[in-house]
Structures are given as structure tokens and as C-alpha cells.
Amino acid sequence: MCDRRGARLTGLRRQVLGLILDAKGPTGAYELLDRLRERRGAAAPPTVYRALDFLQEQGLVHRVERLAAFVGCVEAHGHVHEHPAQFLICRTCGHVTEIEDHDLAHALAAAAKRVGFAVTGATIEAEGLCAACAGAASPRTSAAP
């Protein structure tokens, strides 16, 4: 994909992308820096930030602003798709789920248009409880026989 766009996915950029994709959840820049140093030795913060900027520009990662962290956006079969970023963030366990709801994106664009605003990009972050944490917060009662 980068080749088609004329963008150069260097070894370092590929390695940062791999660290993000291998992470169990959203990963901050300094966590990436620490993990990169384990593999490559000396690495400076600007190195990681430049790689992250490139990966965002190419649509390979998203930044979750609420967490100041990054998540991968590469489908399981390796294709990248461009779409509005929508995240559900669990305030208890920190799990982030990315959804792709075109109706939500269209509703935002329509609401913005009503006030004369043209949306050119949007990241929506909603905070709440994931299914597991919601289930743990409200224990089920069992009926007596």
C-alpha cells in the first residue's frame, strides 16, 4: 500500500507499526520508545514521533486522544481501509474497541452542515463500560429453586 502511494515504509516505521499491532491495547509513544530501545538500542523520542506521524498519514494507525495512545488500523488480511475513526473506551479496564458506523459519520456531517460547517475528518471517542465490565458491575442474581 505504501509503495502504491509512493511512501517509504522504512524498517523503523515497520518496526513501530509491528509494536503497535502486537500490543494488547492502545500504546503510548513512550511505551513504544522503551520497547523500541529493547530491540534497537538507542532511540530518541523524535524518532518514534516521526514514525507515528508517518503511520497516521498512511492510515495504518489511529491516535486515541483520550488515552494519548495509538492503535493499529490494519484489517486481519493486511488491507488498510480509510474510514472515520470511532472508538469505545472502557473507563474501568481501558479496553478500546474501534467501530465503523457510517450512519454516525453521516449524522455528524449532516449536523455540521446545518450550521454551515464542512467536516473533513473526525475521530469520535465515547467513554463507558465494555460488556465484561458492565457485567461485573451488575452481578446477576440467581433465582432460588
CA distance 130 to 120: 29
Shared domain for 74 and 104, answered yes or no, is: no
Burial of 52 (0-12, 13-18, 19+ CB in 10 A): buried
H or E element in which residue 22 lies: helix 11-22
Shared domain for 63 and 87, answered yes or no, is: no
CA distance 16 to 55: 9
93 is in an annotated binding site: yes
Predicted pLDDT at 74:
67
Reduce the DSSP state of residue 133 to 3 states and report it. Answer: helix
Among 34, 56, 78, give the residue marking a domain's end. Answer: 78
Shared domain for 71 and 101, answered yes or no, is: no
Where in the sequence is the domain holding 16, given as residue range(s)? Answer: 1-78
Split into its structural domains, the chain has a count of 2
State how far Cα 70 lies from the chain centre.
Answer: 5
For residues 62 and 99, the answer to whether their CB atoms sit within 8 Å is no
Shared domain for 125 and 55, answered yes or no, is: no
Among 35, 61, 78, give the residue marking a domain's end. Answer: 78
133 is in an annotated binding site: yes
CA distance 70 to 64: 6
Predicted pLDDT at 139:
60
Radius of gyration of the chain (CA): 19
2 is in an annotated binding site: no
pTM score, whole prediction: 0.77
Q: Cα–Cα distances in Å, from 2 out to 60, 70, 137? A: 10, 19, 44
For residues 97 and 130, the answer to whether their CB atoms sit within 8 Å is yes
Predicted pLDDT at 77:
37
Consecutive 10-residue averages of pLDDT for the chain (145 residues): 85 94 93 92 90 93 93 61 80 90 92 95 92 80 47
Q: Which residue has the cell 514521533?
A: 49
